[in-house]
Structure 1
Amino acid sequence: MSSLSYKDNPGETSTYGEDAFPPTASVFRSNDDNASTATSRRRKICCCLPRPKSRRGVWMLRAVFAFGLLLMAVIGVAVYLGMQNSSSTPRNVGPLISSEEMDRYLRQAVGANELENRDSYTSLAYRWMLQNPFSLQEFRMRVEDRVLQRYALACLYYATYRVNNDWLRYNQGLLDAQPQDIFAWTESQGWLVYANECDWYGITCNQFGYVTSLDLGSNELTGEIPPQLQYLSHGLEFLNIEGNYAYNVHPHFLGKLTNLKYLYMKSSLFESDGIPLVFAALTNLEEFDCSHTMFHGPLREDIFENMAQLRYLEISGNQVNGTLPQSLISLPNLKYFYADSVGLTGNLEFLQDMSALVETWLDRNPTLTGTLPTVLGPQLESLSLTRNNITSSIPNEWGSHSKLKHLWLYSNYLYGSIPHSFRKLSQLQTFAIEDNLFTGNVEHMCTDLSISEFQVDCEMDCSCCSCCGLECTGERD
């Protein structure tokens, strides 16, 4: 099998992890806490005893006092051991896997080259594995799957905990930074310390022991998300790595996680020519947020062809600079779609074909031109088309979309008056149309509707509006 090892800058020696292996930090209550509890209990015992009237009474007092101390010591030890062994899942049950067996599984799966480069995160993960055997009876999962699962997670830790990368070097001034100068994970409780990886921060497992959820969003991961993450493909359904500093170019390994239902990558440093084509294999996705990454480039037709379960998609902040592919427009279950500041071109006719939409925001796309479509999806509740280049009047037919609650159309080139049919939009809460070319009277909306945010052009007659013209837009900016 081909090696998946990674070395940050060839020829450079990198230190991965926190001094290679993390300190075994205490996760239990301190002895001072136990001492305080014991002192309190002693006071209660002593204050409740009668004053001794003879030598026999003194010895009885001493015996009771000694028994109390012994009892507290036993309770303290029991509490300490209980905390030490507490876990949501059993650990160290039955025989442990041998280091020889782990070594054999790893060499068969990933190859010797990946494991033996002592300067790499893979070697650190490998050595940690050999020093931390696990129970063969702890979970009902294949031994080789458990080996690769633990190896993948150890690789993730060593590859992203206080590890430099090109983005940090040149954008954060960390050109010659030492590991201690680089961000540490915000939260790392249990990682490489607890025996059971299902107890580590951000991890959820199913009853068989497979990792189903990995939630490390906004946790200051650095370095590079390692390709070994693909070894979690058996069970992983939820992956949140948004808001971190790990820098990846062409993260093709994510396409191997074919059981994913939820993938959140927002505001992270992933770079590719558009959304990587391998993401087409993620046919079980229900929610996908890759906004404000560095996926700059056209949306390919075949990426969305088989994502029939997708209901939430956000691509805002990535330079698409083109039209939406028909495969995306035709997604049967897409309810929430956000494409703010992506350089969309063409017109808005595609909105007529997105029949399942409940909410879509397509703001700040100045190359989006043409007119407002006559027909909208029957389920649409929230529509935002601000700061585009749309030249149109508002279609009278929009007044029949009874589910509309929020409508933002400000900062375009819209003109004319507001259709009287809008008085039928009884659920309308937000109507922001300022910084356009509208004229006329909207008192019919004041009479028939109760709109909490009502913003229009100053040339319009409106007794119930919140503000008008640039006064409204200025508040937003």
Structure 2
Amino acid sequence: MSTFYFATTNNGQDTWINCGADSSTSSCSSESQRFLSSSSECDWSGITCNGNGEITKIDIRENGLTGTLSTFIQELVSLSSSLELLRFSKNALSSTIPTEIGQLSNLQYLFLNNNNLVGTIPTSLENLSKLTTFSVGNNGMNGTIPSGIFHPTLKNLDLDDNNFYGTLPSEMFTSSLGLVNIDIGGNAFDGTIPKGFENFSSMKLLYIRNNKFAGTLPPELFVSASLSMLNCSHNDLDGSLPDKLYAATSLKSLDLSSNEFSGAISTKIGDLEDLTKLNLRSNKFVGAIPSTMGLL
């Protein structure tokens, strides 16, 4: 892991926030956890190994990592038979996601959110057939979403606050039926909200805020009995609210603000007894506010 360390510290000229090679021992729970220490790599901070001494997890988040993934990707590839989790969230990694990341065939969790990444999602991610979590939110990435990332194993998808555009691939609704958390907010996706969300029977969170979706709110969004958080704010959605919304009793947070919704708000909104957050402002609703909203 020495190549990784020097690649993320400007060849040793910069320092990590915690547990770098030149960090004070107070930033680690023990001296042996410092990177490049004489102890086994399995004892270094953020590194987890299995019983055979093979690295299974690299979890180094919020630690001031700089540089590019491409400068140390080959070292990661050498761990491909055992590496299950890669988490570099909230650092300062830049440039693109290298194609070689698709060689990490055993990877289940990939967290690259909150960095300075640009470019597109590499199509080589279609090779990560065990992937359950893919998180690249809060970067500067762009392009359309490759259909190959939608594996049957995928449960958590975080693409928020980038510059992705286009429509959602149909494979999302036919291949990744186990999706639980979907956050694609803060991009430039357009077209109507596709049908198919009814296929996600375990979906708990859906954020499509701040995009360019138009048309009506499809009733299929509310089929999942586990849906608790829905944010469709800041789009170009219109029409009246579907009746199925008022039957989505698992909802705890609903934000439909800053759209073009119209018509009256049904008194049935009082049936959403678990709702703790409701935002309907900046729309074109008419009529009186239902008294049943006071029951929420």
- TM-score relative to the length of structure 1: 0.55
Residue 164 of structure 2 corresponds to 320
Q: Which residue of 2 aligns with 1:371?
A: 216
Identify the residue that residue 6 of structure 2 maps to in structure 1: 158
Deviations 1:400-419 (A, max 9, x none): 22211111011111111111
Any conservation in 2 of the 1:214–1:239 contact (CA below 8 Å)? yes
- CA 1:419 to 1:446, structure 2 compared with 1: closer, same or farther past 3 Å? closer
- The correspondence of residues 164-179 of structure 1 with structure 2, limited to 5 A, is none
Summarize the Cα distance change of 1:190–1:157 in structure 2 as closer, same or farther, 3 Å threshold: same
TM-score by length of 2: 0.87
TM superposition shift of 1:287 = 1.3
Equivalent position amino acid for 2:6 in 1: Y
Partner of residue 346 from structure 1, selected from 191, 204, 210 = 191
Amino acid at match of 1:427: D
Contact 2:233–2:255 under 8 Å retained in 1: yes
In the alignment, the residues of structure 1 paired with residue 79 and residue 165 of structure 2 have an alpha-carbon distance, to the nearest angstrom, of 34
| Structure 2 residue aligned with 1:215 | 59
Q: How far does residue 319 in structure 1 lie from its aligned partner after superposition?
A: 1.9
8 Å Cα contact 1:292-1:318 kept in structure 2:
yes
Give the counterpart of 1:409 among 244, 247, 256.
Answer: 256
Shift of 1:383: 0.6
User: Could you say which residue in structure 2 is the equivalent of 1:429?
Assistant: 276
Query: Percent identity among equivalent residues?
Result: 29
Aligned-residue offset at 1:269:
3.0
8 Å CA contact 2:95–2:117 kept in 1: the answer is yes
Tell me the amino acid that sits aligned with residue 407 of structure 1.
L
Q: Whose relative contact order is higher, 1 or 2, with alpha carbons under 8 Å and at least 6 apart? A: 2
Q: 1:323–1:345: 8 Å Cα contact kept in structure 2?
A: yes
The residue identity in structure 2 corresponding to 1:421 is: K
Quote the Cα distance in structure 1 between the aligned partners of 2:83 and 2:100.
Answer: 13
Unaligned 5+ runs, structure 2: 21-32
One-letter code aligned to 1:356: S
Counterparts of 1:134-149 in structure 2, within 5 Å, are none
Q: Letter of the 2:84 partner, please give it.
A: E
Q: Which has the higher helix share?
A: 1
**How far apart are residue 250 of structure 1 and its match?**
4.3
How many residue pairs get aligned? The number is 276
Q: How does 1:62-101 map onto structure 2 within 5 Å? A: none
List per-residue Cα deviations over 1:207-237 (Å, max 9, x = no partner): 1111111111121112233122111112111
SS in 2 for 1:445: helix
Q: Distance in 2 between matches of 1:212 and 1:155?
A: 17
Give the superposition deviation at 1:327: 1.2
For structure 1, the residue ranges without an aligned partner over 5 or more in a row are 1-152, 164-178, 451-477
Is 1:184 aligned to 2:32, yes or no? no
For 1:335 and 1:421, the matched residues in 2 are separated by 27
State the SS of the aligned residue for 2:190: coil
Residue 262 of structure 1 and its aligned partner are, at CA, apart by 1.1
Provide the C-alpha distance between the structure 2 equivalents of 1:204 and 1:266, rounded to a whole number of angstroms.
21
2-side partners of 1:275 and 1:238: how far apart? 18
Query: 1:346 aligns to what SS in structure 2?
Result: strand
Is residue 2:104 matched to residue 1:257? yes
